[in-house]
Structure 1
Amino acid sequence: MGYRRHAKRGVMLVVGGLILLTGVALLVLPGPGLLLVLAGLLILSREFPTLDRYVEPVRTRAVQAAEESVTSWWRLTGSILTGLALFAAGVAWGLVPELPLSGWSTGSGLILSGFILFALLYWSYRRVRAARRATPTN
């Protein structure tokens, strides 16, 4: 029984660590960096309770950043253009063999990032719209 518990803890450490590191990389690359950092922390905090103190500040900042992405027309436009650029780059990396690390493994990752970006924009837009409806105007 102890073996399974240690194996599960090891798997959670690897999965949570990879997601966390991917999120950290996406803080400077295009993609939902803060949300992946949050996901990695949530996974790791289940096995390592000392990490709980980092979850709420990251959650607050991630939700704030997601909402900020749809609060003005220029941010929303920039986010949409970034998503379209990710799709285009994904197709280019899938079809043009001269590009570094070309192939559909890289291309599909870029396309998936574009889909994730659009899903997060939709979620953020609905959240902001619902908050505006709930706030009475004077």
Structure 2
Amino acid sequence: MKTAVSVTLGALLLVAGIALLVLPGPGFVLIAAGLALLATRFDWAKKPLDYAKDKAQQGIDEVKDSKVKAGLALACALALVVLGILGVAGVKLPFLNTLSAIVLILSGLFLVGTVIYARMQRNQAPRSLI
């Protein structure tokens, strides 16, 4: 029973994530979540999950090391939140309904959190193993 639930939920997250690659929303996050769930039951899902983790860490490292990239990411996050708020407020924008507006706001806030996390990593001193 647990395997069936894991496979079903993992597959749904994976499909939703793939759809959100072209729709507004955190597609990569859902893909990673789906792969993480599937990797608990299937070895084949571990390789793409490791690849996704590596790419996510590369992105965090780039934002951590560059004020320009961090600023651009925050500007994009602000744009997502503003568009989402306009959509929730009832402003008619093309291809935007209330659900996609809420997803835009959440995506923007997720991006802000990621940038803050990356910049905080820059301020932490490396820990020695001794």
State the TM-score bracket (shorter-chain normalisation).
Answer: 0.7 to 0.9
Structure 1, unaligned stretches of length 5 or more? none
Q: Deviations over 1:84-112 (max 9, x none)?
A: 00111101111235334544322111111
Q: Specify whether residues 135 and 119 from structure 1 end up closer, same or farther in structure 2 by C-alpha distance, changes over 3 A only.
A: same
Q: Structure 2 matches for 1:47-126, cutoff 5 A? A: 47-96=41-90, 98-126=92-120
Instruction: Name segments (4+ residues, structure 1) moved above 6 Å.
Output: none
Whichever structure has more helix as a proportion of its residues is: 1
Give the TM-score taking structure 1 as reference length.
0.73
Letter aligned with residue 3 of structure 2:
R
Q: Deviations over 1:23-75 (max 9, x none)?
A: 44555667655444322211111122332233223212211112212321210
Worse overlay, 113-122 or 100-109: 100-109
Give the TM-score taking structure 2 as reference length.
0.76
Aligned-pair Cα RMSD in Å: 2.8
Contact 1:38-1:62 at 8 Å conserved across structures: no
Q: CA deviation at 1:82?
A: 0.6
Match of 1:13 among 7, 30, 33: 7
Contact 1:97-1:103 at 8 Å conserved across structures: no
Contact 2:24-2:104 at 8 Å conserved across structures: no
Letter aligned with residue 134 of structure 1:
P
Contact 1:35-1:62 at 8 Å conserved across structures: no
Q: Specify whether residues 71 and 18 from structure 1 end up closer, same or farther in structure 2 by C-alpha distance, changes over 3 A only.
A: farther
Structure 2, unaligned stretches of length 5 or more? none
Which is greater in Rg?
Answer: 1
Counterpart for residue 126 of structure 2: 134
